[in-house]
Structure 1
């Protein structure tokens, strides 16, 4: 966290400068602002540059030079939407200036907006067909077409043309994208190093290219060179977490935890004593890899090192936060309260207030959390972590417009924060503006340097929108940036197989074969078998090797069968399954998978026969009973399902999933006390189980529960706040309503009712909340819905009828 707030200090200084410069002409002031912005931009400080450009535009909104500069700053900062808006405005006002068309083409390429790319290439061609920028855009269009057709020779030819033009301007962004993308997807991605070196020699302040170069060096086993360059970059860009994150992720993907820690320690030790960002990153790393005790030991050292400086407060607050996670909740809260009393109005109080607010929120006391967040924002209306938490609540309570305001305020100060971008995407999606949501996910992927998780999040959203080919491109870039990330490689392989892009699948296999990791070996075995089967070739040897290397049959072979089923290749899946079970007729895991395949094929009798045959197999454990119970319950065979459950519990009395099912059964038949007792046992064994926590909180908060029960229920379910499961929304909303917060309960109950439209209990509760808020027409509609879902003599239906009578209907 940046305690010093340099951006705000700068803004205050600028305000003073404006007051004392009133005697200057508008032209002089405009020139000074623009010159100052250009100086900031040259030093890589785009945020301050944008502030200066905006001041200049207040004097003359039509100044083209300033608009061009601010558009370029937005582009360099990664705020693509704003950059596109500015360049579009400029291209409309100055249709004959090639630079603006070139930038719009570059943005279209970044966003994989192929129609826009073609439009900008055609417009550039009309302005100056021979210009380098125009040739670059034409090549980009041609490369995209060749890529779509899977024409590798054509791609190589176009890439060679791009590399030839790069000799004239080594850092031309469109040409670089073509050349690097083509090389990165080849058998030798390190061939991109000379291209990158030439570009960085022309412009060394290109962090994305620097990060890609480090990535390639690491892949070429030049880890020492990569680490040295990373440390140089960290000094050049001290506020960019991607730089440390890249090499740490690479070391971690190879199991080299000590080397990853060494990198972070070197960066932390090399930063000024007042800079907490790198040191807190080290603490978080230690907590995730070495455990909480190691993190606390490091914090103790840092507190001693910081002495009485403000940094000591941050480290002490982190110490309390970790202890809270370890279970000392009351002690952690009391410790932070004492710190707040000592801090008074010191700037660090805001950070402690937000941490304390998060603790109260996790314990289900959101009103207390709101008081603390409001206090932090009164001290500083731009406190980023407070804005982030308030926006998270707004999303949780389905107030997306409020969340968007807070998140945009926070992003204006921290424009490269991918967590803020991801939250803003969620708010836009909730607000119904899917296009803006995708833009934010795209921006998060872009500014993170195509980091794996941000890119994966964006790609999955694109797939949901039916834009699989754009998702494939996003993952291509992410895979090039992080070829060691198995998750990205597997998701990309799934997309390519779904598109029957077997050439692309072959390239991915080449990349995976360079990774000596059990997960990579399992993943490539699955892909190799799918590739052979797609070609109509016998995959027997590969499948046999897969089965031999996967004794539990829970990874590679299961993934192969699941992938075939997902693609609709049921006949191929059945053939492979029959072949495998014939070779290993006594293999329990294969027989279970065979039963699952019968169920997927719509043959419940075949599935039931297999599951029943496995009930007495000790090696199968409780799994056959669980699968069979689900199958029987799904067919409405409740008596058979209950008899099976009783026998299974006798055989496996310690089975957690069987006991959870039994608690549900007890609740359904009205034995609520027994259900609660069983859930209390399960909760004591594992308090982090979300299903158990939700179910227990639900039963504890039944209508008429006393305040102490409601408080405990709120604490139990609080860690699940923000969970998308409508059952969780129902539980949290109902508890809030019973504790007197009908307004806060309403959005949660609406979400629950949307997600569980056939649940009469949820509809009844929604009606009660609406009735308390005097929304009588909607309440009546909810109660009437209950009557269509439950039998007339059901208690829920009788309750709904009573509410309708109270409403006069």
Structure 2
């Protein structure tokens, strides 16, 4: 029967009247308290949804009401929504730092997340609030155990158990201490006591099983699984875990029997069918796994089985068959989510197979049906990047993030795209967002930290990695990155501490010994450095870093004779290797044995006449003695012998430039660019020479024509070259844009700031000019062209800098 307008109005009127009546009877504080009371009652009855509404109603009246926030936190905990529970308990603690239960729960969650420093603060607060509370002592036991204080953990757990013999946290920590003392029987005793007190706590059974498995007590583990399955028959995952134990012990028939029984008890359990197929592939062969999936696909229309079959076929390198499965899914499911998923999967397969056009058609189909489809947009971006359409790819990725702002793969792809384009600031923004979106993912943080190491932003490495390392203290890659940041900043005490932790993780490995050699060298413990580098070098003789490190250690220890002996031995064993000759020549240079150094470099040239390393080192050795003419003569001879060698011709052009013979250098660079028109380094050097050594308009225009290719470059130095040329041509607006892009990619290069400062000066922006010139002088580690000009301009007051520019012009 349809509700009339009159009926609806009457209901509204009655509701309003009741509301007015109630408002006249209860104050907002009383109503909020009533909502909380009802919520707690419903929560105790397990009616979580209704309880949540009551707590939310209370917060509508008072957003600072601690009991309501605490109720919501308990609901999230009950639902095992740990991220939400953590945020809500933090909210409770922020409103009332003396809330004991919030401190206790936050402490447990921080221990679980390996955030020990935070857990320690929670524990200390809880003990201050309730010195006799067994839960507070149990939390303290957990923290002390994580800190490696076994005796302290035992003491705190024992204190908790005196007043609460069934305290689950304390009993588990006592079990942990027994495991740490290699007493599994003692650990199992405490776990059994805990199970007696808490027979429905699944985690205790799993801890018991894990203890048995660690001790290779497979029969006991299997018996415990059967006990667990009997007590919780609806938990399907325990049957899978039991099958895994059977498989690990070689009882494959038992494992298969268990997996098939799992399917028989619930034939529509797609996960169970896929688990069986995975088992068959691993232990019975690909054909049996494929047959099993195809059989169930005939009986079960769930598309996940077909997706699993396609993945299996891809692994088995049956790509055509996998494509056929995806096309069947597309035909069967059309524009539904499963149909779009199949198109996306097929598109990725086509792209991987070198068929971007087909992949593009599939993605376009997806996006025509669902323009905001995340996977479709991600694949579209990859296709656009493949075609060097960076701006379009960025637009696709931004659209993908609108509905998925914390999607790590899109954030990372955006970060990498901006990085490739030389936009470091934007790349940094997206790396940080990716880390924040998934702080437990060590790989994302490590990728970003390695970039920071490359860019020498060492102080930022620890900021990025420390929170991640707290979650993954046993990750050697994270620890290594932190150690490298310490080494780069010469923080030898911190480096020594991290080195010890790394040794505990990876032992006496070649990588550890190479890093140890560096740290010992930094601490001037040269004997230890030599010993460490020796171990690394002897373990991996091809490790050039270990070889160079060992040589440096010998030199610093005053044992140059041993360094020389090592290199001669290396040459005897590897006469065709160029590096030992180069290193030997440099070693001779240290002792001013120049004739021997020259012979070593000549041997390097004889060993690899088509490589420039030998020529460069010999030329530098001659220049260091003031024999520039000899260096040039040597290179000219090499060019006559190897006229097609681009590296040697480049080196000669560079030597002409250093000798202030710009005309010869320009001539040589012109010839090189004619032979290799796509050689950007040659183009950059030629354009720079033309603009820096010839001030006439014609030469500047020639330089601009050569450097125009760099307008969309990702290389900071190329952008700077074109920007400086544009400035000299009076196009300072274009120059500012180019030079700002160069600085965004490499903010640490002093001369870039000088160039931008001069461009701002020409643009009549004196304050910005002053800022950039000051930056140039602060960053400069050695004189750069224009340094005197920068100093002169900075002596002029900011208000008159513009006038000074006019006078200069």
- TM-score, length basis structure 2: 0.54
Given candidates 378, 381, 393, the residue that maps to 1:369 is: 393
SS at match of 2:750: coil
Structure 1 residue 748 corresponds to structure 2 residue 741: yes
Q: How does 1:100-249 map to 2 (within 5 A)?
A: 102-103=107-108, 106=111, 110-111=114-115, 113=117, 117=120, 120-121=123-124, 124=127, 127-128=130-131, 131=134, 134=137, 137=140, 175=173, 225=248
Alignment-derived partner of residue 98 in structure 2: 93
Distance 2:551 2:183 in 1: 30
Deviations 1:326-370 (A, max 9, x none): 6xxxx7378526742664141674433343334545665443334
SS at match of 1:605: coil
Note closer, same or farther for the CA distance 1:657–1:379 as it changes in structure 2 (3 Å cut): same
Alignment-derived partner of residue 239 in structure 2: none
Superposition deviation, residue 756 in structure 1: 1.9
SS at match of 1:749: helix
Given candidates 757, 763, 768, the residue that maps to 1:778 is: 768
Alignment-derived partner of residue 557 in structure 2: 571
Note closer, same or farther for the CA distance 1:494–1:695 as it changes in structure 2 (3 Å cut): same
Contact (CA 8 Å) 1:71, 1:84: kept in 2 or not? no
Given candidates 352, 359, 367, the residue that maps to 2:376 is: 352
Superposition deviation, residue 615 in structure 1: 2.5
Given candidates 53, 62, 66, the residue that maps to 1:63 is: 66
Distance 2:52 2:498 in 1: 28
Larger mean CA deviation between 306-315 and 691-700 belongs to 691-700
Superposition deviation, residue 312 in structure 1: 2.4
Note closer, same or farther for the CA distance 1:672–1:136 as it changes in structure 2 (3 Å cut): same
Alignment-derived partner of residue 4 in structure 1: none
Contact (CA 8 Å) 1:181, 1:477: kept in 2 or not? no
SS at match of 2:542: coil
Alignment-derived partner of residue 228 in structure 2: none
Contact (CA 8 Å) 1:660, 1:692: kept in 2 or not? yes
Given candidates 539, 542, 553, the residue that maps to 1:554 is: 542
Contact (CA 8 Å) 2:760, 2:768: kept in 1 or not? no
Distance 2:185 2:736 in 1: 60
Deviations 1:178-206 (A, max 9, x none): 859978xxxx9999998999999997679
SS at match of 2:572: coil
Note closer, same or farther for the CA distance 1:381–1:83 as it changes in structure 2 (3 Å cut): closer
Distance 2:111 2:436 in 1: 23
Structure 2: runs of 5+ lacking an equivalent = 1-17, 23-30, 219-244, 264-274, 332-338, 692-698, 793-800
Deviations 1:100-151 (A, max 9, x none): 68449848x945649x94895487377436847537647966995xx8xxxx
Contact (CA 8 Å) 1:591, 1:610: kept in 2 or not? no
Contact (CA 8 Å) 1:320, 1:336: kept in 2 or not? no
Alignment-derived partner of residue 625 in structure 1: 614
Superposition deviation, residue 755 in structure 1: 2.3
Alignment-derived partner of residue 615 in structure 1: 602
Alignment-derived partner of residue 9 in structure 1: none
Contact (CA 8 Å) 1:596, 1:607: kept in 2 or not? no
Contact (CA 8 Å) 2:141, 2:170: kept in 1 or not? no
Alignment-derived partner of residue 340 in structure 1: 364
Alignment-derived partner of residue 15 in structure 1: none
Distance 1:419 1:39 in 2: 43
Deviations 1:69-125 (A, max 9, x none): 599799986799969955853772336986268449848x945649x9489548737
Note closer, same or farther for the CA distance 1:583–1:490 as it changes in structure 2 (3 Å cut): closer
Contact (CA 8 Å) 2:453, 2:485: kept in 1 or not? no
Contact (CA 8 Å) 1:356, 1:372: kept in 2 or not? yes
Alignment-derived partner of residue 790 in structure 1: 785
Deviations 1:15-35 (A, max 9, x none): xxxxxxx99987798799999
Alignment-derived partner of residue 271 in structure 2: none
Structure 1: runs of 5+ lacking an equivalent = 1-21, 43-48, 148-154, 236-243, 249-257, 502-529, 684-690
Structure 1 residue 303 corresponds to structure 2 residue 326: yes
SS at match of 2:348: helix
Deviations 1:31-68 (A, max 9, x none): 9999999999x9xxxxxx99999999677543352475
Note closer, same or farther for the CA distance 1:99–1:297 as it changes in structure 2 (3 Å cut): same
SS at match of 2:370: coil
Note closer, same or farther for the CA distance 1:79–1:378 as it changes in structure 2 (3 Å cut): closer
Structure 1 residue 586 corresponds to structure 2 residue 575: no
Distance 2:398 2:123 in 1: 47
Note closer, same or farther for the CA distance 1:768–1:296 as it changes in structure 2 (3 Å cut): farther
SS at match of 2:65: coil
Note closer, same or farther for the CA distance 1:118–1:586 as it changes in structure 2 (3 Å cut): same
SS at match of 1:344: helix
Distance 2:452 2:32 in 1: 39
Alignment-derived partner of residue 342 in structure 2: 312
Note closer, same or farther for the CA distance 1:175–1:469 as it changes in structure 2 (3 Å cut): farther
Aligned length: 662
Superposition deviation, residue 780 in structure 1: 7.0
Alignment-derived partner of residue 671 in structure 2: 674
SS at match of 1:92: coil
Contact (CA 8 Å) 1:463, 1:471: kept in 2 or not? yes
Superposition deviation, residue 314 in structure 1: 1.4
Contact (CA 8 Å) 1:373, 1:386: kept in 2 or not? yes
* Larger relative contact order, structure 1 or 2 (CA cutoff 8 Å, min sep 6): 1
Contact (CA 8 Å) 2:412, 2:430: kept in 1 or not? no
Note closer, same or farther for the CA distance 1:591–1:692 as it changes in structure 2 (3 Å cut): closer
Contact (CA 8 Å) 2:483, 2:498: kept in 1 or not? yes
Superposition deviation, residue 625 in structure 1: 0.4
SS at match of 2:97: helix
Contact (CA 8 Å) 1:411, 1:417: kept in 2 or not? no
Deviations 1:742-790 (A, max 9, x none): 897565322356322146xx74367548967x74543477689799843
Note closer, same or farther for the CA distance 1:473–1:623 as it changes in structure 2 (3 Å cut): same
Alignment-derived partner of residue 755 in structure 2: 764
SS at match of 1:372: helix
Aligned-residue RMSD, C-alpha: 7.7
Deviations 1:712-743 (A, max 9, x none): 7678x5xxx5xxx8547758999999999989
Superposition deviation, residue 384 in structure 1: 6.0
SS at match of 1:755: coil
Larger mean CA deviation between 209-218 and 577-586 belongs to 209-218
Distance 1:674 1:142 in 2: 71
Distance 2:690 2:322 in 1: 39
